A and B are shown apart, each in its own frame.
Chain A
Amino acid sequence: MKMLIAVCSCLLLTPAFAADPPGQSTATPAKSAVHRYLVERTFPAGALKGLDAATKKKVNANNASVGVHWVTSYANAEETRTFCVYEGPSEAAIRKAAELNKLPVDSITEVPVTLSPK
């Protein structure tokens, strides 16, 4: 029922948003060669336990070798699923960085636009 309400509410809301002329949005896609991605990963239980400073340093170095920058990650309570924000030149570079770091990739979604109340 909640879902139904949410969907109905969405239908009520979206036309107002969709009616905005292009270029009138607060959302501004990145104009540079750097793209931002949200990478979803699934890990076996306990796999993230060893994420210490030394490991992070190694991961950051591997990322840098292919022009990728790890911005931040969000992990669920069980630490079996992460949503990671990355900047990089392409989706292929993000995949290459994941390979170098032996990290799983479920999906890569480009998210060039930021909405924020600030």
Chain B
Amino acid sequence: MSHANIRNRCSLLRTGKSHKIGRPPSQLGQRHRFDPLTRAARFPSAGFPGQDTEQAAVPRYLIERDFPDGVSIPRDEAGASLYRRVIDNNAEDGVTWLQSYVTPDRKRTFCIYDAPTPEAVRRAAARNKLPVSKITEVRVLDPYFYD
């Protein structure tokens, strides 16, 4: 298991909280309710050799975002603070941002996330004031082989 996988898993364990839309704040804080068995049925070959079952059960999403005026994060304390806020906001819903690929004009991003549900991704995006054009649940197709 890679360090990234371990970190993501630890992050989920630390912050594994979720709530339904419209639920009063007093009822927030329960654990995720995604079902690994249901996901296994949808993604029978999810994961790759060496990846354990628990990790494979965390859904991964590709989120397409459009920024009409472009997106950029300053490389200073303000940018670092923004990153921390985004990570904290994501954590409220057990969402982990892994990486984003950005076009040269910075108007479009393809972002890879681990999250319990698409709704959790949308709630985290709303807290972060980030646009969401499309969410696709994905699994990784690795170009190489390990056995």
Contact of A56 among B125, B136, B145 (CB under 8 A): B145
**CB-based contact A110/B104 at 8 Å:** yes
**Please, how many residues of chain A have a CB less than 8 angstroms from a CB on the other chain?**
50
Residues of B within 8 A of A111 (CB): 101-103, 110
9 A-B pairs whose Cβ atoms sit less than 8 Å apart in the complex = A2-B122, A2-B126, A12-B129, A17-B71, A17-B73, A53-B147, A73-B142, A115-B73, A117-B97
Contact of A18 among B72, B97, B98 (CB under 8 A): B72
Given A77-B42, A115-B73, A117-B86, the answer on whether A72 and B143 have CB atoms closer than 8 Å is yes
Closest to A3 in B: B132
Residues of B within 8 A of A25 (CB): 72-75, 106
B39-72, CB < 8 A from A? 42-43, 60, 62, 66-72
Contact of B100 among A82, A112, A115 (CB under 8 A): A115
Cβ of A113 under 8 Å from chain B = yes
Kindly provide the distance from the CB of B7 to the nearest chain A CB, expressed in whole angstroms.
9
**CB-based contact B143/A60 at 8 Å:** yes
Kindly provide the distance from the CB of B117 to the nearest chain A CB, expressed in whole angstroms.
14
**CB-based contact A76/B143 at 8 Å:** no
Interfacial residues, chain B to chain A (CB-CB below 8 A): 42-43, 60, 62, 66-76, 79, 83, 86-87, 97-104, 106, 108-112, 122, 125-126, 128-132, 136-145, 147
Kindly provide the distance from the CB of B109 to the nearest chain A CB, expressed in whole angstroms.
7
Contact of A74 among B60, B73, B97 (CB under 8 A): B60
Closest to B100 in A: A115
Residues of A within 8 A of B125 (CB): 6, 9
Kindly provide the distance from the CB of A16 to the nearest chain B CB, expressed in whole angstroms.
9
Q: Considering the chains assembled together, what is the distance between the CA atoms of A84 and B67 in angstroms? A: 22
Instruction: Name which of A73, A76, A113 has the most chain B CB atoms within 10 A of its CB.
Output: A113
The 3 closest A-B pairs by CB, nearest first: A113-B102, A10-B131, A74-B138
